[in-house]
Amino acid sequence: MSQTDVLVVGAGPAGLTAAQELGRRGIRVTVIDEYPTAGGRLLGQLYQAGDHWWVGRQVAEQLLSDISGHPAVRLRLGTSVSGLERRDKGWVVEDTSGGEPAMARAVLLATGAAEIPIAIPGWTLPGVMTVGAAQVMANVHRVRPGQRGVIVGLGALSFAVAQELRWAGVDLAGIVMPPPPRNGMPGWTVEEEWRKMAHLAHLAPTWMRPLSSLLRRAGWRRRLLAGAPQAGVAVAGTRLRPNVAALAIEGDAAVSAVVLQRLNGHGNLVGEPWREAVDFVCTSGGLRPIPDLAAAAGAAMHYSWDGRYDVPLFGPCGDTTVPGLYVAGNILGIEGAAVAMAQGQLASVGILRHLLGKPDGFGPEADQFALQLAEARRHAPLVFDPAWAAIHEKVMADFQRETREG
């Protein structure tokens, strides 16, 4: 059985930052990732933040170059972790390679997030993909997802990917809403989609920004969004069409059209549906953390009714309720890469304390990294979902209670 001090699951911004911090101190670290290239979501990120560009691929290359200076850090790519088992104060980590399981004294779960699908008739046709998949095609593989597409949903990535597709020379019919749910079908209401608008308004053209405070009020929001022109409002290199819903995707062997219909101020369908020709569709249902390994390893969890906010309870240094099991990055909630990196730094402190048996050690480092986390949040280019701040407070309070009682 191969032995290591720390096994990191996920080679994204959180996992690589933690590995770098630990490797710098000579701790033996193995980073496992299912993708053949390290970097996680950094590989596809490209946006303008204030006066500088965030080029995720360069951030990943910098991290990897730092790590290459620490021989104690090993990368194992193209392998998924399938299970964790606590044994002899350490962890047995099983993976999909079929080789011998690895033994580690501590495990860091930096498994990131998954996209939430939007199920509308025709969503299984070739040419329908999530916005994240379109981002990987365009920015990682440099392949256009199609000639003309449409984005369905106001997920966190809608605007960023719309802009990136525009830069890639892809034509978009705009960003439209998912249809209102009916017959008990799974989905969110149009009102819920619209509520996200208020938090994305800073991305809108300058003349629209004064409207953002109005968008926070339900009555105004309805009036403004229902009254938008059917062709939409220019945002992020495309057109946002808040009062148009995608009812279905059509095509024989692949996507050929999207069926659209107007929404009124109550989020109900009105008028006659019409078709627009597209050869690809991006669904943007938002992101959810992937806490599976934490739950399977027995960490106490916070659950949500729709599974969107399921996260392990965690402490200030990424500690879970299970000794030797740590968490960082989007497994804790959907935030940007800079936040994930600061969480990776904090988790490295938690892990060092555990390995060296110094529960109160590394105080100055912990304080510094906590400050960096607060800074990263303050300068975040966008708040993916304002619900996370309150959930984090509750989850961290529950963690304190659990660990005190335990």
Q: How far is CA 113 from the centre of its chain?
A: 5
Beta bridge partners of 302: 311
Per CB under 8 A, the list member of 293, 300, 317, 341 interacting with other proteins is 293
Is residue 344 a contact partner of residue 369, using CB atoms and an 8 Å limit? no
**Closer to other proteins by Cβ: residue 120 or 198:** 120
> Scanning residues 55 to 114, which ones bind other proteins (CB under 8 A)?
80-85, 94, 96, 98, 114
The answer to whether 307 contacts other proteins (rule: CB under 8 A) is yes
Of 17-25, 66-74, 216-224, 293-301, which part binds other proteins (CB under 8 A)?
293-301
We find the least distance from the C-beta atom of residue 210 to other proteins, in angstroms, to be: 35
In whole angstroms, how close is the CB of 183 to other proteins at the nearest point?
6
Residue spans of alpha helices (H) in 180-217: 190-200, 212-215
How many Å apart are CA 136 and CA 366, to the nearest integer? 34
Is 183 one of the binding residues for other proteins (CB under 8 A)?
Answer: yes
Q: Which is nearer to other proteins, 166 or 308 (CB)?
A: 308
308 binding other proteins? (CB under 8 A): yes
User: Shortest CA distance to 201 belongs to which of 188, 213, 219?
Assistant: 213
Among 140, 214, 228, 295, binds other proteins (CB under 8 A): 295
Give yes or no for residue 257 binding other proteins (CB under 8 A).
no
- Residue 188 tokens read as 């969110």
- Binding other proteins (rule: CB under 8 A), the pick from 288, 289, 341, 366 is 288
What lies within 8 Å, CB to CB, of 378 at 6+ separation is: none
Residue pair 164/342 in contact by the 8 Å Cβ criterion: no
Q: Angle CA(46)–CA(51)–CA(57) in degrees, nearest 5?
A: 25
* Token digits of residue 333: 């909630």
Tell me which residues touch other proteins (CB under 8 A): 34, 80-85, 94, 96, 98, 114, 116-117, 119-121, 123-124, 179, 182-188, 247-248, 259, 273, 285, 288, 291-293, 295-296, 303, 305-308
